[in-house]
Amino acid sequence: MSEEILAMLSNLGAIESSKAVEKQVLNNSQSLKDRPIDEEISNLVRTGYIKETEGKLYLTQAGLFRALSRFS
Amino acid sequence: MATVLSKKPSKEEESGEIESRLARSLPKKKLRVLHFTWEYPPRIVGGIARVVEGLSKSLTKMGVEVHVITAEMPGSPKEQDDEGVFVHRVGIDAPAPNFHTWILLMNHFFAKRAGALLHEVGPFDIVHVHDWLVLPAGAEAKFFFGCKMVSTLHSLEYKRAGGVNSPEGHMIESFEWWITFESSVVIVCSNAMRGDARWKYNIPDEKIWVIPNGINPNKYNVPRPDRNSVKSRYGVAPSEFLVLFVGRLTHQKGCEYLIRAIPSVAKYYNVKLVIVGDGYMRGELEYTANVTGESWRMRFTGFLSDQDAVDLMLSADVMVIPSVYEPFGVVALEGMAAGLPIVASEIDGLAEIVNHEKTGILVRPRDSSSISWGISRVLSDPANAQRLVEDAKKELRERYTWDAVAALTLKSYEKALYGKLE
């Protein structure tokens, strides 16, 4: 599920604080709907892939590269 | 003469090989080339970023006016003169519900920037497209500039994904075919890739060019760091051998086979494996490392800065490239430039770069026992390993400089512009 969260943030363009998106947007997305994403998000924040600011999320550089790694 | 061929003659230029219609017909006008790429340093997802950077800078030194349209990167300027290369970083200012829609949006914004460049600097002679990811923008630009398109296929979806079984995969394949259709010249980086691309897309022989990737060896011509201090940063003791993997943690890089090889190597040598890079398979690979019971010998670093990666390469004992698909494998050149003995899968482009028992050791792909043998072969005979390193460095200097790559690429532009070479 962590890969889906990273991919979703990348697709939404959440790659810096000014483009951060609310957690609710992820909760409402088709692939993550009704799934317990809070713990996964905490893990991703702890391991440096995501930053959280005022309840909004965006990818760090490491998070962006990991999200895109499948497609290069 | 301010032409594309006026500066610092390469070997080919000195021999007059490139002195041709292109040089004569554009005596007062610089050749103007526009690259489209989704990655350019410091946005480095895979190998494309380094290829476009190295090629563009060498083309610039040869007198070509090079522009690059690429995706934005937080912290990097939107417009940059990077050693003569004009880099235009474009914001993708619309969210997308999935990756493939995002790619189409990115192409829209790239095409828009190319349209603006038409007014800012005028038309281009060549648009150069790097992989399917930027094909729509490149094809649009080709038509509104009224110019020729050259493309580089860096890899192919059916091999990268281990087969094409999804709607997304079919979309990517159709883009790959579309690239070959729109391009006057299709560049691939190895003979293996040439065979795959011709088989898959029926590309006419005269349209497809094999031009290898290059490397900037100066990056590694720096004072050697204190090896023990670098090793200790990654938990490797001075008495332990450092086995190094550098690459994306994805299916195609085959890192799991290397992880599984470590316990057998460890029966005879005191080794630690440092895995540099990140990717969607990281969790799975960490699990695999745990299953071996020897995960204490393995360290995942995630992405490292250029400086840290170079320090590690200059301090390691052997680099292993266990890929299951590798159209080229520029990391092998980087390892060679850093003076590392290379153990690599005998597969695709890697088998063209690494000459078994001459410039490295080739092992069977997807085979941990073979990888284990290859590592032991290097560690057991330091004199032979040093010979491999010396021969590899010689090969690097002769075949894989960016100036040599740029000279060949320039010839491909000539072919695209005039249909044939004289």
Kindly determine whether residue B303 and residue A11, on different chains, have CB atoms separated by under 8 Å.
no
Is pLDDT larger for residue B10 or for residue B165?
B165
- Runs of H (alpha helix) within A1-72: 2-11, 23-28, 38-46, 61-68
A11–B94 CB contact, under 8 Å? no
Amino acid at site B323: S
Residues of chain A with C-beta less than 8 angstroms from the C-beta of B44? 65
Element (H, E) at B341: none
SS3 state of residue B304: coil
Q: Which residues of B touch A43 (CB under 8 A)?
A: none
> Do the Cβ atoms of B302 and A29 come within 8 Å?
no
The string of pLDDT tens digits covering residues B336-368 is 999 999 999 999 999 999 999 999 999 999 999
Domain at B32-214+402-418: CATH architecture: 3-Layer(aba) Sandwich (3.40)
Fold of the B217-399 domain: Rossmann fold (3.40.50)
Q: Chain B contact for A60, CB < 8 A?
A: no
> Is A1 within 8 Å of chain B by CB?
no
φ, ψ for residue B76 (rounded to 5)? -105, 145
C-beta of residue B41 within 8 angstroms of C-beta of residue B49: yes
Q: What letters, b where the CB count within 10 A reaches 16 and e where it falls short, cover B158-197? A: bbbbeebeeebeebbbebbebbbebbbbbbbbbebbbebb
- The ranges assigned to domains in chain A are 2-69
Q: What confidence score (pLDDT) does residue B4 get?
A: 37
Rounded average pLDDT over B117-127: 96
CB contact under 8 A, B102 and A10: yes
User: Closest partner residue to A66 among B39, B101, B280, by Cβ?
Assistant: B280
Contact A11 B102 (CB under 8 A): yes
| Residue B207 CB coordination number (10 Å) | 14
> pLDDT by residue (tens digit) across B19-62?
445 544 444 579 999 999 999 999 998 889 999 999 999 999 99
Instruction: Check if the beta carbon of residue B216 is closer than 8 Å to that of residue B237.
Output: no
Q: Would you call B223 an interface residue with chain A, using a CB distance cutoff of 8 Å?
A: no
Radius of gyration of chain A measured on its C-alpha atoms: 11
Give the chain A residue nearest B169 (alpha carbons): A71
Residue ranges of chain B assigned to CATH 3.40.50.2000: 32-214+402-418, 217-399
CB B233 within 8 A of CB A53: no
- Chain B residue nearest residue A16, CA to CA: B74
ipTM of predicted complex = 0.91
User: Residue A2 has what pLDDT?
Assistant: 86
Buried b (16+ CB within 10 A) or exposed e, B278-299: bbbbbeebbebbeebebbebbb
Identify the top-confidence range among A14-23, A27-36, B125-134. Answer: B125-134
Locus of tokens 């090989």: B17
What is the pLDDT, as a whole number, of residue B22? 52
Residues of A in contact with B96 (CB under 8 A): 11-13
Give me the DSSP letters along B16-37.
Answer: TSS-SHHHHH-TTS--EEEEE-
Largest CA distance in chain B: 67
Alpha-carbon span B368 to B96, nearest angstrom? 41
The whole-number pLDDT of residue B26 equals 46
Mark yes or no for CB contact A69/B249 under 8 Å. Answer: yes
CA proximity to B63, closest of B127, B3, B128, B125: B3
B315-334 pLDDT per residue, tens: 999 999 999 999 999 999 99
Query: What is the share, in percent, of chain B residues with pLDDT greater than 70?
Result: 93
Do the beta carbons of residue B61 and residue B43 sit within 8 Å? no
In angstroms, the CA B347 to CA B318 distance is: 19
**Is residue B7 scored above 60 in pLDDT?**
no
Degrees to nearest 5, angle at CA B141 with B136 and B146: 135
- pLDDT value of position B392: 97
Q: Do the chains contact at A72 and B303, CB–CB below 8 Å?
A: no
The fold for domain A2-69 equals Arc Repressor Mutant, subunit A (1.10.10)
- CA dist B300 and B282 (Å) reads 9
